[in-house]
Structure 1
Amino acid sequence: MNETNQGTMKSASQLQTASQDKPFSKNDVHHPDKGVWTQRFTDALENKEARKARIVYQRDRARVIHSASFRRLQAKTQIFGLSESDFYRTRLTHSMEVAQIGSGLVEHLITLAERQDSEPEYLQWLPSMYLIEAICLAHDLGHPPYGHGGEVALNYMMRHYGGFEGNAQTLRVLAKLGEYTPKNGLDLSRRAALGVMKYPAIYNDVIAKNTAYQAQLQQPENNDFRTLQMDKWLPPKSLFEEERDYVNWVLAPFNREDRQKFICLQSASQETLLAGDAQAHNVHLRTCFKSLDTTIMELADDIAYGIHDLEDAIAMKMLSREIWQTEVMQSPELQADPLWDDEMTERLFSNSSKGRKHAISKMVGIMVEAVQISRQERFEHPLLDYQASLKPGPMAVLELLKRFVFKNVITIPEVKQMEYKGQQVVLELFKALRANPSALLPSKSYAKYQAADCEQARQRVISDYIAGMTNTYASRLYAKLFTPAQGSIFDLL
């Protein structure tokens, strides 16, 4: 870096302070993409001006698609094990479908605006197609191997070192781990980073308010992982302490009142909890507000979860027509708002993959066309106050489908057993790497480990390494380390 740039370089804390001195003004309402939201963290540090929105957001999407973290999603679990079948979805195909649904939701909101006599204000705050696709494609980049089971296992191993949570790891990829910049990760635009931040509270701040969880942390070490009650270690929905400065930079354009309200912690409502969460030990507080872009991404994610994962389960013969008829078609939700009739059931459970695909496509279309946008009248800034949602009837049916998949697919013993097996792989790998970092960590990771300035930073290096593994890589490394007949110095993991 030349002397001029060194002289003008700002620290993250200076950026935060400078931005807070000039919070959002109502005069800026007609300039949603003027500078502040298209700016990248690296450009802010180096006092560089942001480029035009269409260029920035197109490159946001490109950076995600070309990243190693995105490619690895092809070998990470959605629901089923990777060796079960060639048909069903992985985290990669899921992310692509979320992006397609997300862009469809934006397109429909634009169509609704065109039907009005005058142009509604929300239209200028809608994300572009490039932007919403970048956010949707990036939303699972931090997803660890073996799904949410791997997430809980990593949280247990990191419980004294800042914890682990999948959404937090996604932001960490954007802010630090992604390969596009030496130190600032994929370095997406500020608005893309805001869109990915589903729960903008810091991990340490959340667990500090959970006395039961704090008591758990004082329990003696248990190295017999097979006896652990893993549901006690569900991580809070949050972000890591290591990214606090980055989070502050993302939120800096909002005024102080908006920021404080946006990150405040509340008890999760029963509507936001799946049955498994509600029955789990030590349910954490969580933030309850999201940006406009995040609400669109989450709707797309929920539609993909509730409908596309349903398709996989039917194709794998895991769901019977009888249970579908009883729990969905005859449900109060569908009786109150009959979004489809028995013809949908015929197509879903026919022997024709084309018929099933047509049914799934129609169900997705029904949900997309039910999207609406409204103001909460809680925040001054439109990016926080505008929210996308589904109309009440379709939303109730979508929640029904999510509960149906959760009960009859995700939590059945056959799936939970494979989740447990994956947890054991993650726990044992972490234990071995923690005890023997110089021998077992790859050279690049070990260099980071040696350069770390505290124990939490060293443990975070191990966590980052395991979180970046695919299911296949983790399984092969486990076999190489712990199965006597497996492994060779010539194995290319």
Structure 2
Amino acid sequence: MDQIKKNVWDERRGSNNPRQEEIRSEAQRDLSRLIHSSPFRRLQSKTQVLGLGESDFYRTRLTHSMEVAQIGSGLLAKLKIKYAGKEETQFLPDGDLMQAICLAHDIGHPPFGHGGEVALNYCMQDHGGFEGNGQTLRILSRLDKYTKEHGLDPTRRLLLGVLKYPVNYSKLVVNKASSHDPARRQSWLFKSSDFKPPKCYLDSEINIVDFALKPFTEQDRELFTSIRPSNINTDHKTASYKALDTTIMDLADEISYSLHDLEDAISLGMVTRAMWMDHFSGHENLFVDCHGITFTGTCESVADCLFGESYKRKECIGMLVHLMITSVELQTKNKAFECGMMKYNAVLPEPVEALRLKIFMLVKYKVIKHENVQLLEFKGQKMIVELFSVLASDPHRFLPASTREVYERQVSFGEQEGMRVICDYVSGMTDDYATKLYEKILVPRKGSIFDRL
């Protein structure tokens, strides 16, 4: 593989002592560890888009991650067929590894969706910030309890696969004036967009990323970690590249939240047939442009299925997923890369991507940006800021015993390390746990030492 031995991708940072008569590959061990990890299980109680408690029908972070893994496996299978016998095939990942990358992609997301992410970034502005994808890397490599020091101790290639943005926080963040306003720093009332974090990994994981990128040449590492400047001065800078495995996972994620979140929205009545037809008015050609062996739908025929009986809706969503899976192809991102794991990216052809994006924009404007969804997100944001503020005001008093021990060890290295422990604790909460803890601490009522969360 471009002068890089394949077994270097199976290396772990820890001792990596397989059990006697171990029958699993390293990728299968990664997948097993992930499925049995507590951060993965907690995804069942974390918001996807629609708030938990609305119904047991709508998707959570856990069911979303399972769907991403299924789509990611389909994309990988199609790529292996499409590029059989060609150079690109040697760079495609193992199927079990692809499952693990997809299942792991959201474990770093905090309670209450992106509202929780913004809230924690706000709270950590002076202590290294917070970003959900960066927290995923941190959980995998440091925090989970599978090993003493290395978290799940994932293989190098799993680390590379979940590294969606290979540049650290401090190199990408653009500080805004409001973040330095002392009066506002004491309040949970702030403009969410002012504290949206850059897409990055956290500075605390620089050595983890160095380990993941070690097999690549210096030229590839330098190019891969380069920054694409923003066109607007107030926007954060962005990373320029993603590895091949990451782009397959990322594409599966985009397909899932575009189509499956649409399915939930239609079931809830937040997207109607009239909205669909109005949204695609003048853009009916998007469907015609995608016509081929597996897809012959039109704007109206798709609407008939989506807004008809439930089994027809399911069939239609499946048809659109199938269109996108079978259309996937590899694109050379930059010929300057020496290794194909960085040179090639999985993409959708332009007409199919245009249709996917148009569908997603309908979900974005009618669901994600809906005032009721935003109000729920804001409530979660407020709870996280207030919880964090209480815990940070007197960690020795309010943190649970096990977390307090970690805090006392880490704060000896500096305030930032101590605040990171509090951030890890809050970000690992489920929506329900965070709500109950908030009520226990901040809602006036008679309490008891025997109250349980």
Post-superposition Cα deviations, 1:405-440, rounded to whole Å, max 9, x if no partner, equal: 111110110100000000000000001001121221
| Alignment correspondent of 1:240 | 202
Rounded Cα–Cα distance in structure 2 between residues aligned with 1:263 and 1:311: 37
Q: 1:157-306 maps to which residues of 2 (within 5 A)?
A: 157-207=123-173, 210=174, 213=175, 215-222=177-184, 225-267=187-229, 282-306=234-258
- Kept in 1, the 8 Å contact 2:28–2:97? The answer is yes
| Alignment correspondent of 2:33 | 63
* Structure 2: runs of 5+ lacking an equivalent: none
The amino acid of 2:11's aligned partner reads Q
CA offset at residue 484 of structure 1? 2.1
- Kept in 2, the 8 Å contact 1:144–1:467? The answer is yes
Rounded Cα–Cα distance in structure 2 between residues aligned with 1:457 and 1:159: 13
The 3-state SS of whatever aligns with 1:359 is: helix
- Kept in 2, the 8 Å contact 1:154–1:164? The answer is yes
Q: 311, 318, 324: which is aligned to 1:361?
A: 318
The 3-state SS of whatever aligns with 1:388 is: strand
The 3-state SS of whatever aligns with 2:367 is: helix
Is 2:268 the partner of 1:316?
yes
| Alignment correspondent of 1:478 | 438
- Kept in 1, the 8 Å contact 2:111–2:427? The answer is yes
The 3-state SS of whatever aligns with 2:184 is: coil
Q: 374, 380, 393: which is aligned to 2:331?
A: 374
Post-superposition Cα deviations, 1:216-235, rounded to whole Å, max 9, x if no partner, equal: 44321425535311210110
* Structure 1: runs of 5+ lacking an equivalent: 1-24, 270-277
| Alignment correspondent of 2:381 | 423
Rounded Cα–Cα distance in structure 1 between residues aligned with 2:2 and 2:70: 33
Post-superposition Cα deviations, 1:126-176, rounded to whole Å, max 9, x if no partner, equal: 111100000000000100000001000000000000000000000000110
Post-superposition Cα deviations, 1:53-88, rounded to whole Å, max 9, x if no partner, equal: 961000111111111000000000001110111111
| Alignment correspondent of 2:78 | 108
- Kept in 2, the 8 Å contact 1:347–1:356? The answer is yes
- Decide whether aligned partners of structure 1 residues 486 and 334 sit closer, same or farther in structure 2, where only a CA change above 3 A counts: farther
Rounded Cα–Cα distance in structure 1 between residues aligned with 2:2 and 2:440: 60
Rounded Cα–Cα distance in structure 2 between residues aligned with 1:268 and 1:362: 37
Is 2:388 the partner of 1:435?
no
- Decide whether aligned partners of structure 1 residues 70 and 196 sit closer, same or farther in structure 2, where only a CA change above 3 A counts: same
- Decide whether aligned partners of structure 1 residues 442 and 188 sit closer, same or farther in structure 2, where only a CA change above 3 A counts: same
The amino acid of 1:466's aligned partner reads V
The amino acid of 1:371's aligned partner reads V
- Kept in 1, the 8 Å contact 2:108–2:132? The answer is yes
Post-superposition Cα deviations, 1:289-323, rounded to whole Å, max 9, x if no partner, equal: 11000000000000001000000000000011011
Rounded Cα–Cα distance in structure 2 between residues aligned with 1:162 and 1:451: 18
- Kept in 1, the 8 Å contact 2:188–2:386? The answer is no
- Kept in 2, the 8 Å contact 1:480–1:486? The answer is no
Rounded Cα–Cα distance in structure 1 between residues aligned with 2:36 and 2:187: 37
| Alignment correspondent of 1:21 | none
Post-superposition Cα deviations, 1:159-198, rounded to whole Å, max 9, x if no partner, equal: 0000000000000001100111111011111001100000
- Decide whether aligned partners of structure 1 residues 353 and 164 sit closer, same or farther in structure 2, where only a CA change above 3 A counts: same
- Kept in 2, the 8 Å contact 1:232–1:282? The answer is no
% identical aligned pairs: 42
How many pairs are equivalent? 442
CA offset at residue 404 of structure 1? 1.6
TM-score, normalising length from structure 1?
0.86
Q: 1:89-104 maps to which residues of 2 (within 5 A)?
A: 89-104=59-74
The 3-state SS of whatever aligns with 1:363 is: helix
The amino acid of 1:301's aligned partner reads D
Rounded Cα–Cα distance in structure 1 between residues aligned with 2:331 and 2:395: 52
The amino acid of 1:139's aligned partner reads H
Indicate the larger mover: 322-331 or 365-374.
Answer: 322-331
CA offset at residue 486 of structure 1? 6.4
- Kept in 2, the 8 Å contact 1:201–1:264? The answer is yes
TM-score, normalising length from structure 2?
0.93
